[in-house]
Structure 1
Amino acid sequence: MAVTANGPAPYAPSRAVLELVTRHRDRGLPAPVNADTLLRAGISESLITRTLQALQVLDLIDENGAPSPVFEGIRRAPQAEYKMRLQEWLKAAYQDVFAFVDPSKDDATQIRDAFRNYQPTGQQDRMVTLFTGLCAAAGLMPEKAQTAPPKSNGGATQTRRPPASPAKPKSKTPPPPAFVQSPTPGLPPALSGLLASLPNNGSGWTQDKRDKFIATFGAVIDFVYPIVEDEDQDDEGDADQ
């Protein structure tokens, strides 16, 4: 069995198919190769159906699950001939594809176009991914070329700008408390100037500023109003004389 025009084409992950090829080569796969065999070999349950279909379409097992002569030939091949056997296998299995495309030279769009006649249509991108993955493993194309053709956006080129960072709110520094600027008339200048430094009504001040004001206020009071002896004692002394 092989991939034929207007017929079904395999679309399992290339990793799953290559893991089974390697396992059969190193340890052998018990026959028949069926869903239980693949599950025990480490293939995800969601991939078992498409992987079995790929093994059959690519002529690795027959409809009863028995390894094909091609599969056995890959298993027995010396390491020096391993990639050559993979290439022979793929060129036979994908003979219809290789009639229209050369994966070593053609670009991703040309490879994608070569799969437009295969079924199911909705899985064609996965068919291409499997084909290019197997070809890269066999040395039929460079591994870096395993890319799907870019999807058209109508010819428009869109450049994504990085999202703008939200503006950080500016920290507001509270203004210093307003102070009375005009001196109080009738008071000594030193005391009047000190009182002018008091905050306006409703404004506050720090404990440190308050303590300094109280200390300074006491010193200014002592300066402008010196302490004298008790006036009553002075009067009594004068009367005794």
Structure 2
Amino acid sequence: MGNIQSAKFAVTVLVVILGAIIAKDLATGQFNLLILLGVIFQSVQLILILFVKNPENQGTYTGNPFNQIKEGLVAIKRAPQVLWMFLNITLVFIPTAAIFNKFSDKLLVDAGMEVYLLGFVFAGLAVISFFFSRSIGWMTSRIPRITFLYITGGLGVMCLFIVAFYRETLWILIGTMVLLQFIQAVRYPVYSQLANDIIPSNVRATTISLLSIIDSVCDLIVFSSVAGIAVFGFQELFLASAAIAFIGSVLPIKPVPKK
């Protein structure tokens, strides 16, 4: 998962730099060009999807789909650690990535950075994330995966606290963004490995889909809760986000032997 994920960061490096160069004057025509390029590349993506096919020995399930859903629920019931681990990942990811990333460019500008430099900052973060993603195996060979999740979860809480109080100091903000980028890059691949060791392969896709429904519910609850707090300012917003990440990071994760 880390190696596959690194491909996204490799592309991001080029794209955000080009975007920053094209829109350097923040002119309407420049943004229209960016929108047009977005439409073109989305069309290319659509064409590429048409060439994706199932391997011949997969995708042949012809049974009742509701039985698969039932089997997925049974898999979660038999190994509730999968659910706790998923909530640990989700409740840390939402505040440290989904919420923080919506305001990262605004925070950089407020801290004194010129707008035309934003693309280069995000390109640098993508380069760092690329190497983080490619190094997950090396890191987890030295730190147990569950310990790794606890450490990165706690690091995410600390970063949000720092942003709440020191977001106007540019070098502190950039350093915090590097740490948050590290957390975003490594946690989900580590969770994927742990989940794959527990979830039976015949219902793995169904079980992951059921967990994704829970993820959407968590999104609704967290975003609606934080939206009411955000009107008071960035400090309150990130303190609330840190509290949510803390709840997620302390959820118990226990190793479950593969059956």
Structure 1 length as normaliser, TM-score? 0.20
Which of structures 1 and 2 has the larger relative contact order (alpha carbons within 8 angstroms, sep 6+)? 2
TM-score w.r.t. the length of structure 2 is 0.19
